[in-house]
Amino acid sequence: MRTIYIVVAASLMLGAPLGLYGQDLGMDQPDNLMEFRQQPTPGEQLDFFFRETERYRSHSPYVWLDEVNMRYNTAAQNADSTALRYYGLMQAELYHDIGNYNKGIALANDLLTRIQEGDEYGESKALLLDLLDKSYGQLRLYDKQIEVRKRKQELGLADNVTFYDIYANLGMYRKAMNDYIYEKKKLLDETDLYQSAVYDNDIGQFLLLDRSAATALSYFKKAQGYITVYLNDINTIKSEKEVAEAERLKAIIDGNIGRSHLQLAQYEDALPYLENSIGQLRDSPEEYLRQVVVENRLGLAQAFLELGNAQKAREYLRDVPGEEYAELRLKYNRLMASYYEMQADYKAEVYYLQQNVRMRDSIDRSQTSLKKQQLLAIVANEELENSKQTRDELQMDLERSQARMQAQDMRINLVFISLVFTLLGFAGLVYAYLKNIKNQRLLAEQKHIIEKSLVEKDSLLKEIHHRVKNNLQMVSSLLSLQTKNTRSKAAIEALEEGKTRVKAMALIHQKLYQNDDLSVIEMQGYIESLINSVQSVYKKGGHQINITIDAEGVELDIDRAIPIGLILNELVSNSFKYAFPDPEQKGQIYIHIRKNGEGGFFEYTDNGVGMPEDSDERASNSMGIRLMRRLVNQLQSSLNIDKTSDGVRFWFHFK
């Protein structure tokens, strides 16, 4: 299961949270409390309780506490010590979740003293120590928190303990960031896009707390890129829970980007990110996510006040909970004072400013001695970390010395081994030489067989193209016979058009079997032959219509040559039939084809009478235009028609 490692700002930890959770949500949500009741033993109920990370989605923690208290009392009546321990663990966790940290700590410490020493209690001790760790953190008792983490390491319940979150909560953001990078960078799998997004987002939050918004913004943008790619990666199978976690992380990153813009006084830029983050996280039951939502709402209020929109700012301030966290309350009071200043209500402004003065004095008095105690604990921890670092350096020196000795022994062994391999290598060269002669003979034979097969293949392909051309010519002849036996002028014209289209395709296959390279058509010669074929049908003298073909050096494969040939057949036929009604007019037709990398460009123009005013309506009914559009679609493009004063221009790009 993935975990989002979000660094909580020190400003958010100055007061105790209310612990307000969602109430019962109704029958449309899975009833995990009912599922808890269905577990057959207290041990399985304990496993379910701590495994169910969204246990409050259907019932509040108070309902859960009533359930666990009832089962605890039953276990006490039955003198079931194991069940008492299990339900006591759940009680301690529930008191933490409703915000009664002192009660949770008292229960956890009592359970620790009653648990006997032994490996079979390792899981229970780990759960209790984790609970004490996070509860002391909520109460800002960081010296106690450090003791708990060291105890976990001594008991073998944690391979390594870190303190960067404690440094951050004490305002030592750079120290926290450096320790975080040292601990996490060596474990980071850069191919894991989700963890990369978490890593960059956490570093950005340290920098944002340190008032380095510009640098923080660059890390948040990288994190946003990672999580976006992760969510859009259809090749990686993700569970619904993993998708939900990734979407929550993306919303958190958006909020961090918005707050970075706030620090940089870029208020317009901050608005969409903060609004999107609130929209995604508004209904989240997790405590830390509700903190994020509150801070984002205050950020939006600040941005609107700076932009002079007091009414919009008041909307966001109206829905902000008033007493969740001391630092958020201070910020709320400051923003309310600014709002009333803009409204010229100086009495209300003074009220909120006085509230802040009283709160700040109370916080300073209550935390001065506590701050000193925490810093002493940090200094002691620094000495421990320094001694650990010195020990690690000595260990590394010893390992380097051992490595040098091993390398020297290895060199001696290599000299002996190299002599053995020299003899083996000489024998191998002789063997390779003899085998090479044999392989060359085999290759020569295989090359001869392949060349013979290629010649046969080319001959077969030419024969196929020749037969296709003959079949198409037979179709053309059948159309000619049908023309002679038809009296309808419209039918004769349709048959003639069909015959020219068949000839255009037959010409392609004729060019192919006449070429040495059977894969491509040389377009300049093909177009010239096509023009001659069309002229013979419409009996137009070449001296009256001057045709310029600019396709020298252009070679196309059959999949592109046939559509372009049919398009040219339609265009040239249309020009001969309609563009030059005056026999004395000297017409000009220009055909241009160019290749550009994997694609190319086609252009056809004439200086005839152009297209009539209702050409768009006719185009929808004209078979020729519809045919050309479909052929251009096969080339993954669209046909463009430009009507000019002295003719018409057709053009398109093709792939």
**pLDDT reading at 133 higher than 60:** yes
Q: Which of 169-173, 193-197, 228-232 has the lowest mean pLDDT?
A: 169-173
On whether residue 175 sits in a domain, the answer given is: no
Domains in the chain, number:
1
Q: What is the pLDDT of residue 25?
A: 40
State the average pLDDT over residues 91-109: 89
Domain membership flag for residue 514: yes
How is residue 48 written in tokens? 């379910």
d(CA 499, CA 371): 96
Of 292, 310, 293, nearest to 301 (Cα)? 310
Match 């909307």 to its residue by tokens. Answer: 315
Lowest mean pLDDT among 221-225, 303-307, 504-508: 504-508
Containing 112, the helix (H) or strand (E) segment is helix 101-114
* Contact status, residue 569 vs residue 534, Cβ threshold 8 Å: yes
User: Going by C-beta distance under 8 Å and a sequence separation of 6 or more, which residues neighbour residue 568?
Assistant: 504, 527, 530, 591, 604
How many beta carbons lie within 10 A of that of residue 60, not counting itself? 19
More confident residue, 471 or 551: 551
Label residue 379 by pLDDT band (50, 70, 90).
very low
Would 541 be classed as within a structural domain? yes
**Cβ atoms of residues 181 and 214 within 8 Å:** no
Mean pLDDT over the full length of the chain = 79
Q: How far apart are CA 164 and CA 110, in angstroms?
A: 28
Question: What is the pLDDT averaged over residues 383-388?
Answer: 49
Mean pLDDT of 293-308: 89
For residues 57 and 60, give the distance between their C-alpha atoms in angstroms, rounded to a whole number. 8
**Mind listing the pLDDT tens digit for each residue in 29-44?**
568 889 999 999 998 9
Which of residues 200 and 10 earns the better pLDDT score?
Answer: 200
Rounded CA-CA distance 466/509 in Å is: 7
N-term to C-term CA, the chain: 46
- Mean of pLDDT values over 540-544: 57
Residue 20 has pLDDT above 80, yes or no: no
pLDDT on residue 541: 52
Q: Cα(305)–Cα(316) distance, rounded to whole angstroms?
A: 11
Q: What residue numbers bound the domain in which 521 lies? A: 486-654
Q: Which helix (H) or strand (E) holds 605?
A: strand 599-606
| pLDDT value of position 412 | 65
**Within a domain: residue 399?**
no
Lowest mean pLDDT among 116-120, 169-173, 250-254, 281-285: 116-120
Q: Sign (positive/negative) of CA torsion 496, 499, 504, 507?
A: negative
φ/ψ of 556, rounded to 5, equals -125, 150
Contacts of 432 (CB under 8 A, 6+ apart): none
Reduced to 3 states (helix: H, G, I; strand: E, B; else coil), residue 583 is: coil
Buried b or exposed e, range 237-275, using 16+ CB within 10 angstroms: ebeeebeebbebbbbbbbbbbbbbbbbeeebebbbebbb
Structural domain contains residue 556: yes
Interval 361-373: pLDDT, tens: 665 555 555 554 5
For residue 510, being part of any structural domain is answered with: yes
Question: Does residue 552 belong to any structural domain of this protein?
Answer: yes
Helix spans in 539-599 (H): 558-574
User: HSE-up of 599 (CA within 13 Å, CB side)?
Assistant: 9
Q: Give the residues across from 592 on adjacent strands.
A: 550, 603
What sign for the dihedral angle of Cα 614, 616, 617, 623?
Answer: positive
The pLDDT > 70 percentage for the chain reads: 79
Residue 638 has pLDDT above 80, yes or no: yes
Cβ atoms within 10 Å of 303's Cβ, excluding its own: 26
Please tell me the distance from the alpha carbon of residue 21 to that of residue 122, in angstroms, as a whole number: 31
What is the H or E stretch that residue 329 is in? helix 326-342
Residue 441 pLDDT exceeds 60:
yes
Q: Judge whether 326 lies within some domain.
A: no
Please return the burial class of 406, using the count of CB atoms within 10 Å of its CB with bins 0-12, 13-18 and 19+.
Answer: exposed
Give the lowest-confidence range in 140-149, 311-320, 611-620.
Answer: 611-620
- Which residue shows structure tokens 């006997």? 116
Sheet with 599-606: list strands edge to edge.
545-550, 587-596, 599-606, 647-654, 640-644
Residue 273, pLDDT score = 93
CB 131 within 8 A of CB 110: no
* pLDDT of the residue at 223: 92
Instruction: Mention every residue, 6+ apart, whose C-beta is less than 8 A from residue 267.
Output: 261, 302, 303, 306, 307
545-550 and 587-596 strand pairing: parallel
Report the CATH number at residue 502.
3.30.565.10
State the amino acid at position 360 in one-letter form. R
Task: State residue 97's pLDDT score.
Answer: 87
Q: How confident is the model at residue 261 (pLDDT cuts 50, 70, 90)?
A: very high
- Say which residue, 509 or 5, is predicted with more confidence: 509
State the pLDDT confidence band at 393, using cuts at 50, 70 and 90: low
Indicate the pLDDT class of residue 23, thresholds 50, 70 and 90: very low
pLDDT at 228: 93
The pLDDT tens digits for 485-522 are: 787 877 877 777 777 778 777 777 776 667 667 678 88
Write the CB contacts of 584 (distance below 8 Å, at least 6 apart in sequence): 544
| pLDDT tens digits for range 314-359 | 888 886 654 556 778 888 888 888 888 888 888 888 888 888 788 7
C-alpha to C-alpha distance for 527 and 533, rounded to whole angstroms: 10
**What is residue 615's predicted lDDT score, i.e. its pLDDT?**
60
User: Could you tell me which of 141, 142, 138, 137 has the C-alpha nearest to residue 18?
Assistant: 138
Number of neighbours of residue 508 by Cβ within 10 angstroms: 23
544 or 214, greater pLDDT: 214
Distance CA 297, CA 315 (A): 10
Of the candidates 593, 513, 508, the residue with the CA atom closest to the CA atom of residue 554: 593
The predicted model gives 561-577 an average pLDDT of: 88
The pLDDT assigned to 201 comes to 93
Helical (H) or strand (E) element with 602: strand 599-606
Instruction: Please say if the pLDDT value at position 13 is more than 70.
Output: no
Query: Is residue 253 very low, low, confident or very high in pLDDT (cuts 50, 70, 90)?
Result: very high
The predicted pLDDT at position 627 comes to: 86
The residue-averaged pLDDT of 103-119 equals 79
For range 87-106, the mean pLDDT: 90
Q: How far is the CA of 616 from the CAs of 338, 619, 626, 631, 653, in angstroms?
A: 63, 5, 12, 19, 21
- At residue 73 the predicted structure's pLDDT band, cuts being 50, 70 and 90, is very high
Look at residue 373 in the predicted model and tell me its pLDDT: 53
